[in-house]
Chains A and B, each alone.
Chain A
Amino acid sequence: MSILETSDEVPTLAWRVKAKAFAANNKLFVVGATGFLFILLCAIFAPLIAPYAPDKIDFSARLQGPSWAHWMGTEKFGRDILSRVIYGAQTSLIIGTAVTFIAILIGAPIGIIAGYFGGRLDTLLMRVSDVFLAFPPLLLPIAITAALGSGLGNAMFAIAVSWFPWYARITRAAVLRIRTEPYINAARAMGVSHTRIMWRHVLPNSLTPIIVQGSMDFGFTILAAASLSFIGLGATPPMIEWGLMAATSRSMFLDAWWTVLFPGMAIFFTVLCVNLVGDGVRDVLDPKHGIKE
């Protein structure tokens, strides 16, 4: 038993040492992760943290600058901007998660099928995907949302649809490498069907680049959704969304700078943290990319 116990302890210790070494080598990841955790907690506990109800209109307190009562000031209906920024974190995180997932759900299966079967099917799927990449990054979501009608749901769908080819490409590249692995051949020799091989053997082994790309894109999707909301194609009032907050107040920017600055800062801070986390995730999962030892 004693042998078993010591052998149990060693990996834990090694794990802690590794985590510490990683943190020491990746200070930016720690900064990003801390910031992201902060935003996440804000989103989860928004009702507890926010000093005011985010949609409480108070005409006696219109367009007040930052003060002890309203740390980030108030907007033209007298609503507390700090409270709205805190609630806005919920929207942004949901958007980021949902869009990334939809993009992966569309892109990964296409990439797996294209990479696994190859040949004409591969050419067909990848060229169709390439069509989506031929548009400038924001133009396609704008066109799709314009066609479907504005609204946050449509905007999220539009961003996902214009972003999935990246996942198709990355997955395909991973699958091309895995397809020739001996265990795929061994599975074939065991009589495993193509569908099952793709699901059980190819997909799990090609997850790493998908996760890395997903964590890197998370910030982009938040930014893209905020941009769409800003030009009036995404979130609509009374939804609380940072891009929308900046948009509705932009005419007052020169007189009441706080109405635009703080939502904008929130977007900036969130995207920055998410990208720093994404870089860290890549360093962990993709050791070939820039080893820092």
Chain B
Amino acid sequence: MSTPVLQIAGLRVEFPGLLRTVKAVRGINLTVTGGTVMGLVGESGSGKSMTAMAALGLIPKPGVVHGSVKVDGFEVVGRRDAELAPLRGGEAAMIFQNPMKALNPFFTVGEQMTDAIRCHLPFDKKAAIKAAIAALESVHLPDPTFTLDKYPHQMSGGQIQRVMIAMALACQPKVLIADEPTTALDVTVQAQIISLLRELVATQDRTILFITHDLGVVASLCDNVAVMYAGEIVETGSVVDVFADPKHPYTQKLMNTVPRLGAGDQNLNFIPGQVPDMGFPPKGCAFHPRCDQADDKCAASAPDYMIFNNDHKAACHRLDEAP
């Protein structure tokens, strides 16, 4: 199972404005292979969500998308809405950050699930209900038949996120794109959702692009990780390699911001400065204004990727000089 399911090549997402063009994603390459979980990590505004939206062709007007996104070999960029309809929810499904608002408050869970299923599969109502019940069972919601008759406001965030996952997986998508699916949930519920996703990967061989800013979640769920900063991927590799030996200063600093349990009194670390204004991204390495190892070279030219073992790559000038 090493066929690439989601291939992103040279993806750029730009929002032309009157005075400046906001470059949300600036040429990223990313490949997610079947049966693995890719974590996409970065601060708010680093272009993670835009990458996810671009994968489904959902970049809102006036956004412009360049490059290539292939879902199971199907080119997404440049397609019209009608051509993308079978892809969205069919080949590639997405779950969102705020589950409480991701369902229409006007209809029951069952109506919305069967609607979604019948959108993609040639089922009649009865078969769709059966499929919905089976999907709800697979995400361990107790009493699925009862759940189908509930309205979104009668359920908790964790329950709805399970429904959303069930709904997304009901049509057997090749890839599941999860855009910060645990951010709006309680920590205990977060853990349950993560373990559910891990189980689905293990038992059903699911492929997930998992977007988050939570490194702990990445470590516990993902096989590979890509760290995004200012619309670019600064470091990527297997979770084991990147977490054991982060190469890019940004990745290192990001790891340092995670408080460690049992480490005694410690200050909460943070990365000084803020994510650059993507209307005017910094010249050279995008991270150099916040990097304490930066020199003239960093400000002058953008670094290339250095490849370490097992596809572990990072883009930083400092790495050239390392022994």
| Distance between A238 CB and nearest chain B CB, rounded to angstroms | 46
Out of B89, B107, B164, name the residue touching A191 (CB < 8 Å). Answer: B89
Q: Give the distance in Å from the alpha carbon of A186 to the alpha carbon of B107 in the complex.
A: 14
State whether the Cβ of B10 lies closer than 8 Å to any Cβ in chain A: no
Interface segment, one of A40-48, A66-74, A150-158, A199-207: A199-207
Q: Are A189 and B103 in contact (CB under 8 A)?
A: no
- Given known A-B contacts A189-B58, A191-B119, A191-B120, A182 and B87 have beta carbons under 8 A apart: no
Residues of A within 8 A of B61 (CB): 119
Q: Give the distance in Å from the alpha carbon of A190 to the alpha carbon of B87 in the complex.
A: 8
Q: Mark B82-113, 1 if CB is under 8 A from A, else 0.
A: 10111111100110111001111111000000
Q: Mark A166-196, 1 if CB is under 8 A from B, else 0.
A: 0000000000000001110111111111100
- Given known A-B contacts A189-B56, A191-B85, A183 and B103 have beta carbons under 8 A apart: yes
Q: Are A205 and B106 in contact (CB under 8 A)?
A: yes
Interface residues in B53-92 (C-beta closer than 8 Å to A): 56, 58, 61, 81-82, 84-90
Q: Give the distance in Å from the alpha carbon of A190 to the alpha carbon of B166 in the complex.
A: 13
Q: Are A187 and B104 in contact (CB under 8 A)?
A: yes
Q: Are A200 and B103 in contact (CB under 8 A)?
A: no
Q: Are B102 and A186 in contact (CB under 8 A)?
A: yes
| Distance between B142 CB and nearest chain A CB, rounded to angstroms | 15
| Distance between A191 CB and nearest chain B CB, rounded to angstroms | 4
Q: Are B93 and A190 in contact (CB under 8 A)?
A: yes
- Given known A-B contacts A182-B102, A200-B104, A201-B104, A193 and B85 have beta carbons under 8 A apart: yes
Q: Are A188 and B88 in contact (CB under 8 A)?
A: yes
| Distance between B218 CB and nearest chain A CB, rounded to angstroms | 22
Q: Are B104 and A191 in contact (CB under 8 A)?
A: no
State whether the Cβ of B115 lies closer than 8 Å to any Cβ in chain A: yes
Residues of A within 8 A of B101 (CB): 181-183
Residues of B within 8 A of A190 (CB): 88-89, 93, 116, 119, 167
Interface centre among A190, A193, A194 (most CB of B within 10 A): A190
User: Which of the four size classes fits the interface of chain A?
Assistant: 10 to 19
| Distance between A178 CB and nearest chain B CB, rounded to angstroms | 10
Q: Mark A187-229, 1 if CB is under 8 A from B, else 0.
A: 1111111100000110011000000000000000000000000
The number of A-B residue pairs with CB atoms under 8 Å apart is 63
Q: Give the distance in Å from the alpha carbon of A204 to the alpha carbon of B104 in the complex.
A: 10
Q: Are B106 and A185 in contact (CB under 8 A)?
A: no
Residues of B within 8 A of A183 (CB): 101-105
Q: Give the distance in Å from the alpha carbon of A36 to the alpha carbon of B98 in the complex.
A: 44
- Given known A-B contacts A182-B101, A183-B102, A194-B81, A189 and B94 have beta carbons under 8 A apart: yes
Q: Are A189 and B89 in contact (CB under 8 A)?
A: yes
Q: Give the distance in Å from the alpha carbon of A38 to the alpha carbon of B320 in the complex.
A: 89
Q: Give the distance in Å from the alpha carbon of A188 to the alpha carbon of B86 in the complex.
A: 11
Q: Give the distance in Å from the alpha carbon of A185 to the alpha carbon of B164 in the complex.
A: 13
Q: Give the distance in Å from the alpha carbon of A191 to the alpha carbon of B83 in the complex.
A: 10
| Distance between B103 CB and nearest chain A CB, rounded to angstroms | 6
Out of B105, B119, B167, name the residue touching A192 (CB < 8 Å). Answer: B119
Q: Are B84 and A191 in contact (CB under 8 A)?
A: yes
Q: Mark B269-296, 1 if CB is under 8 A from A, else 0.
A: 0000000000000000000000000000
Query: Nearest chain-B residue to A193 (Cβ)?
Result: B85
Q: Give the distance in Å from the alpha carbon of A183 to the alpha carbon of B90 in the complex.
A: 17
Query: Nearest chain-B residue to A203 (Cβ)?
Result: B106
| Distance between B49 CB and nearest chain A CB, rounded to angstroms | 11
Interface residues in B277-321 (C-beta closer than 8 Å to A): none
Query: Nearest chain-B residue to A197 (Cβ)?
Result: B104
Q: Give the distance in Å from the alpha carbon of A205 to the alpha carbon of B56 in the complex.
A: 25
Q: Are A182 and B93 in contact (CB under 8 A)?
A: no
Q: Give the distance in Å from the alpha carbon of A97 to the alpha carbon of B77 in the complex.
A: 49
Q: Give the distance in Å from the alpha carbon of A183 to the alpha carbon of B89 in the complex.
A: 14
| Distance between B197 CB and nearest chain A CB, rounded to angstroms | 17
Residues of A within 8 A of B58 (CB): 185, 188-189
Q: Give the distance in Å from the alpha carbon of A233 to the alpha carbon of B113 in the complex.
A: 53
Q: Are A182 and B98 in contact (CB under 8 A)?
A: yes
Q: Are A189 and B104 in contact (CB under 8 A)?
A: no
Q: Give the distance in Å from the alpha carbon of A186 to the alpha carbon of B101 in the complex.
A: 9
Residues of B within 8 A of A201 (CB): 104, 106
List residues of chain A with CB under 8 Å of any chain B CB: 119, 181-183, 185-194, 200-201, 204-205
List residues of chain B with CB under 8 Å of any chain A CB: 56, 58, 61, 81-82, 84-90, 93-94, 96-98, 101-107, 115-116, 119-120, 164, 167
Q: Given contacts A190-B93, A205-B105, list 16 more A-B pairs with CB under 8 A.
A: A183-B104, A186-B103, A186-B164, A187-B104, A189-B93, A189-B96, A191-B88, A192-B115, A192-B119, A193-B85, A194-B81, A200-B104, A200-B107, A204-B104, A204-B107, A205-B104
Q: Name 14 interchain pairs, CB-CB below 8 A, sorted by A.
A: A182-B96, A183-B104, A185-B96, A186-B94, A186-B96, A188-B58, A190-B93, A191-B84, A191-B85, A193-B85, A200-B104, A200-B115, A204-B104, A205-B104
Closest 9 pairs (CB-CB, A-B): A191-B88, A190-B89, A191-B89, A189-B94, A182-B101, A204-B106, A186-B102, A191-B85, A183-B104
